Structure 1
Amino acid sequence: MPVNVSVIVPVYNPGTYIEECVASLLRQSLPADAYEVIFVDDGSTDDTPALLDALAAEESRVRVIHQENSGWSGKPRNVGIAAARGAYVMFVDNDDHLGDEALERMYGYGVANGADVVVGKMAGRGRSVPVELFRANRPRASVADAPLIDSLTPHKMFRRAFLDEIGLRFPEGRRRLEDHVFVAEAFLRAANVSVIGDYVCYYHIRRADDANAGIQRFEPVGYFNNLREALDVVARYTEPGPVRDGLYRRWLRVEMVERLRGRRFLELPEDYRRTLFEEIRQVVVERFGPGVAAGLPTVHQVIAAFVVAGRLDDVTGFAEWEAGLGLRATPGPIGWREGVLNVDFAAEFTAADVPLVLPGGGGPVSVDGPPAGVANAVALVGADAVERFTAGTVDLLVRERSTGAPYFQPVEVTREIVPVEESGDVRLVLRATAAVDPAAAVGGAPLGAGLWDLYARVRLGGWTKECRIGPGPHQARAATSAAVIAGRVVLPYWTDRHGNLSLDVDKASKRLGLTALTPQDVTVAAGLLRAPLPLHVPGALDVSVRLTSGGRSLDTPGVLSPTADGALLEAALPAAQLAGAVWRTALCPAPGADVPRFLPLPLALRGRAGTVEVVRDSRSGGVGPVARRVRRRLATLLGRTPRRGR
């Protein structure tokens, strides 16, 4: 029977790394009878073949095909296509995995938009993935109007009839870049390509043993011969002109110039560097006209010009200079406003860990040939960065720590050219205010429980760099108060090791500052408990308070209301039910949640006949004001700053 999607997984000795792949495929939200998983075992010699056969015996949606080792992924994928029964086929590598809703979303989006190819948002764990392509959903995209060419891995969904109509299959055998040849032709011949940017569909994982096939060092001669085949595809399906040059530019930038830059180049053995340089030079001279490099940023043009001139020493010297470049994002005020976290920061490039200083004159820059030397090249790209400063961009990304999934947040930017004393040189500073709405930060969806790290991403002068926002003040572990947003407790905090800004969502308890509450802060009158809490709420919020004593528990409704310096908790107390016992208290910020979370409060309620007395809960782990003063005094004498939390 036909199905909606066939997932094709080439397999070769994955060991335990296939486990998360399999689990994610079986977790898919698409109904089990609407998709199939085809594992093509390419002659594995470990226990994987037997394990997959056992899985297929239990799961009707799983099939396994065994074949002799072919040397690379092209043939297993083609075998999978031939066996597929799906309207769409999806390619997954055996050490990667899918988001739980990936197949459902990608298939639905492809059908809705008549797409021949569907590209799902990617996240990389230890591996680079495209970023700009996934800024937003793109229901209709092409190589002429979207950076599709930045995404040439095969981890996409393709309409099976489309592949058959154009006769598209992967090159086979022991070779590299078979995915470039396949995906480039698919992009160029598709009637429509749809891109999902608001949900991570594919997680690209670097194995702890660094055994991923795609990251192994390659033999340059064979690699660039295979790269020429991808360029042949572009030449076959485009006319000479801006579109073809723009596509060629991707290979010149990513596969050639970027391999000759900074630490990436310098860390290679010297003899390998020379061979790599010579092979790149041959391709550049043979295949690219002047319009290809001319469309690149000046820094790329300079390196390309050195390549054409055969000046390996200058490429190496320029790489040594670039290796010292970095990015720093210095935090400013951080605070909540109506449920949105406003994050101010200033970002600028650094050289050898100090602010990068550039010539202040600016002016239009052109690269008519290779600069006279490395110093001239540095001056040229510096002047170009100043000239193009108005086009420089800074973004704030919120990245899930456990998966690496990044999400862009709204940012307002001002640009400042800072003179350096009387030298005539300048610093380029991008000042930004980002708005992180926890209720919509994940492509319109709320932040999930876990830890989220904040990154600045700057694009300027041909450099694209990311860094964490920080360091912040180590003496204050919380960057600002926690907030209760969309039923979750969100705490901005500075990390212990480096003092970088992160968000703790529904994990923190002690660091929320609730232990600072004392019985003197709380009032009980007319059956109503009123307690000020160091929490931000955008408006009145229904909560509940759980009261426990021995084996009994009572939940009583309450409201958190915003105040000038936090929130006021008001909760009804069933005084008659509390009599004769001492009750511990805990706040539930989302009473309607499937699994409600309770935050312990350092208060206990002693019920007496007709009255309720508030006392400190000695089991809450909090300390009283006297103990806090003693601790601070002791820390001062020992030369330490007392810290809360991690």
Structure 2
Amino acid sequence: MLSSVYKVSIIIPTYKTDPQGLSRLLQSLDAQTLSADEFEIIFVDDGSPDNTFERLQSEKAKRSNVSVTRIENSGWPSKPRNIGIKMAKGEYVLFMDHDDELYPDALRAGYEFAVRNNADALSGKESRTDDPAWAIGVYREDEPQAIGREGAHPLMPMNPHKLYRRKFVLKHKITFPEGRMVFWEDIFFNIQVARYAKVISRMASVPFYHWVTTEGSGTSLFDNQTEYYWEMLRKVCDFANENLSDPALIQQREQILRHQYRVRVLGPFNANFHQKSIESRKLIFSHAQCIRRDFEFERFDETLSVSQALRAWAVGEGRRDLVERLSQEDVAIAGWQTADTLAWSNGVLEISSSAQWSSAHGRTLSLRSEGNRVIKDLSPELEQELPAEQLDMTRDLAEVDCIFAVRSRDGLVTWEAPAEWTTSFDENQPSSVMLAGYTKARIDPATAAFGKPLETDHWDLQAKISIGNGSAHRNVRSAFPGSVSYVNGQLHLVYTTDGGTVALVPRGQQEAIRQLTPIRAGYDSDGLVQLDLDGTHDGDGEVTCTLGLDTSTSAKKNTFTGHPAILRISDGKASLHFRKTGPVMRVRIGDHAGRRPPFWTLFVAEDRVGLNVGQLPKIRTTAEYEHEEQAG
């Protein structure tokens, strides 16, 4: 019964599955580097009232490793997953949502890493469509054994998008709690895994799972303004206490409970709390107060940021009025990074940047100095109600952190980059403190993907700045012109987007033509047209590429076709070289670089080349006029 026919069984509950989502999921599974005869796909349809089951049957007919079954509607993914576990024949099982996707090397790399480390469970590097910072601090290194590590629990993020050894799951009768609506069923499952697992591995070096979020995807049922939400949160905490009571499991229990306390008990007291109805505010506060008391969560208060600790104290004192005041006055302010320098050096992009803290409404960090301490600056009326020692920001400011990263626009994978972060404090007014942050980062396209080259894609440079309970992961701002580096036969491009942020394109010679602006024209020593390009560049060499040449004879439209060219880099300069085709050439260069013309018009004489902004109606040659007359 427990023999393994496959390396991995992928279990996918479905219900009214969007055709586009199903297609995306299957395409990612078809693209796996692990051979299709080494993994199976198990669809368990939860009684969809539409044609989902028929579409699954159609897809099954195209693949030998797919099985499909249908059950009476259960209302939640738990029962389909449990049925899938019983059907599975793989050494490991993986649970996927019906519209997500795996990265191409996920199954091969994940399975080999798990087997090599004898893992009962493996958490692979996960990304999320709508959250570039998703789990960025979790997947920092490959960890053969993550149990016993400080920080986040080894199974965080605590969803089931992981590899679990099937024999281990069956031996310990680990299942998802069933019912028509069971909040956090994945946490209940993973707590059982944590109870019995001897080895939990974490794989950061290979992208594993993409949690796709689109309009209408996911559920909106997780509403903390309902009694059921708090009933289920209490059950999660009880379940953690019951299953992780062994002394050897205390650390894991505390990791899980501390997360629930920070995110779900205190999390609702954010900037939106005071805007909720009075009934909702009373309900949330009452439940938070009871859970904090009943589970003795005050033991975690010393690990909280100042803002969270103030709220926790007010909850413990039964002061909903203070929590509401704090949600208005003590608002989390996110940080922005702006590039101060941006330059290539021997194929490595070097960035120095500075941080500022401001909200969309112009609010900034409110700090003041008292002796050698930095204090959170609130209104005098509110401060009088709070313990003075709770306002001390010294520790929070000492722990301000910045993570520098690149994120691909196509695959939505985020890789951290080496960076040095420093902070300073300036008293810009008597007793008023201004916080400043500075980063120096290096990005080598040849090694930035966990020691491997970045894929050819547009990569946005991003920074996640955390201070207290305020954290934001945003693109790095820039006003620098585009530039390229040519080292070891590779040309890489960095440029400023239309939105004023930094982007990187490894092996980006084609995009370089669209991003670099021509500043002068002439002939080179070989008689080719030469366009000198703006910016300061790195390296020495040349690459072949293609520029767009307008071949339309119409005065009111362009038709660009490929024209061979050479992009040459030398002595900090870049230039484009190509043969002339006539006395007037209309070429598409630099049209992606901000507010630049869609094309340039070149007047090509025997002894010179004139560079002019392109415009419609076009300046045309006599031959083009005659061609239009004959065609008309």
Shorter-normalised TM range: 0.7 to 0.9
**Cα offset, 1:582, TM superposition:** 11
Cα deviation code 1:158-201 (max 9, x no counterpart): 01111122221111112111111111221342111111223321
1:310 equivalent among 309, 318, 323: 318
1:4 equivalent among 7, 11, 14: 7
Partner of 2:261: 252
**Residues 91/567 of structure 1: CA separation in 2 closer, same or farther (3 Å cut):** same
SS class of match (2:50): coil
**Seq. identity, %:** 25
Partner of 1:594: none
**Cα offset, 1:156, TM superposition:** 0.8
**One-letter amino acid of the counterpart of residue 259, structure 2:** R
Aligned residues of 1:344 and 1:432 also touching (Cα < 8 A): yes
Partner of 1:153: 159
Counterpart CA distance in 1 for 2:466 and 2:387 is: 19
Aligned residues of 2:367 and 2:434 also touching (Cα < 8 A): yes
**Residues 39/512 of structure 1: CA separation in 2 closer, same or farther (3 Å cut):** same
**One-letter amino acid of the counterpart of residue 10, structure 1:** P
Partner of 2:446: 439
Counterpart CA distance in 2 for 1:492 and 1:567 is: 14
- Between stretches 140-149 and 504-513, larger displacement belongs to 504-513
Counterpart CA distance in 1 for 2:381 and 2:494 is: 47
**Residues 504/561 of structure 1: CA separation in 2 closer, same or farther (3 Å cut):** closer
SS class of match (2:451): coil
Aligned residues of 2:603 and 2:611 also touching (Cα < 8 A): no
Partner of 2:100: 96
Aligned residues of 2:12 and 2:98 also touching (Cα < 8 A): yes
Structure 2 unaligned regions, length at least 5: 552-561, 589-598, 615-632
**Residues 197/266 of structure 1: CA separation in 2 closer, same or farther (3 Å cut):** farther
- 1:627-646 aligned within 5 A: none
**Residues 163/361 of structure 1: CA separation in 2 closer, same or farther (3 Å cut):** same
**Residues 492/267 of structure 1: CA separation in 2 closer, same or farther (3 Å cut):** farther
Partner of 2:234: 228
Counterpart CA distance in 2 for 1:398 and 1:253 is: 28
Q: How many residues align?
A: 579
**Cα offset, 1:435, TM superposition:** 1.2
- 1:109-508 aligned within 5 A: 109-127=113-131, 129-142=134-147, 144-147=149-152, 148=154, 150-173=156-179, 174-209=181-216, 211-213=217-219, 216-217=222-223, 220-235=226-241, 236-239=243-246, 244-263=253-272, 265-266=273-274, 268-323=276-331, 325-350=333-358, 352-361=361-370, 374-375=382-383, 383-421=391-429, 423-470=430-477, 472-473=478-479, 479-484=481-486, 489-496=491-498, 498-504=499-505, 506=508, 508=511
SS class of match (1:466): strand
**Residues 156/322 of structure 1: CA separation in 2 closer, same or farther (3 Å cut):** farther
2:51 equivalent among 47, 51, 54: 47
SS class of match (1:262): coil
- 1:582-593 aligned within 5 A: none
**One-letter amino acid of the counterpart of residue 77, structure 2:** S
**Residues 341/319 of structure 1: CA separation in 2 closer, same or farther (3 Å cut):** same
SS class of match (1:260): coil
Structure 1 unaligned regions, length at least 5: 588-599, 607-612, 617-623, 629-646
Partner of 1:644: none
SS class of match (1:82): helix
Relative to the length of structure 1, the TM-score reads: 0.79
**Cα offset, 1:137, TM superposition:** 2.0
Counterpart CA distance in 2 for 1:345 and 1:43 is: 54
Cα deviation code 1:339-376 (max 9, x no counterpart): 12222211132365254230223767999xxx997445
**Residues 36/410 of structure 1: CA separation in 2 closer, same or farther (3 Å cut):** same
Cα deviation code 1:496-520 (max 9, x no counterpart): 2x42233355363554336445224
Aligned residues of 2:519 and 2:531 also touching (Cα < 8 A): no
SS class of match (1:81): helix
Cα deviation code 1:405-428 (max 9, x no counterpart): 32211112222111122x212111
**Cα offset, 1:319, TM superposition:** 1.5
SS class of match (2:69): strand
**Residues 445/301 of structure 1: CA separation in 2 closer, same or farther (3 Å cut):** same
Cα deviation code 1:375-434 (max 9, x no counterpart): 45899699533444233211222122344332211112222111122x212111111111
- Aligned-residue Cα RMSD (Å) equals 3.9
Cα deviation code 1:54-81 (max 9, x no counterpart): 1112211111110011111111111000
**Residues 488/338 of structure 1: CA separation in 2 closer, same or farther (3 Å cut):** closer
Counterpart CA distance in 2 for 1:366 and 1:581 is: 71
Aligned residues of 2:367 and 2:375 also touching (Cα < 8 A): no
Relative to the length of structure 2, the TM-score reads: 0.80
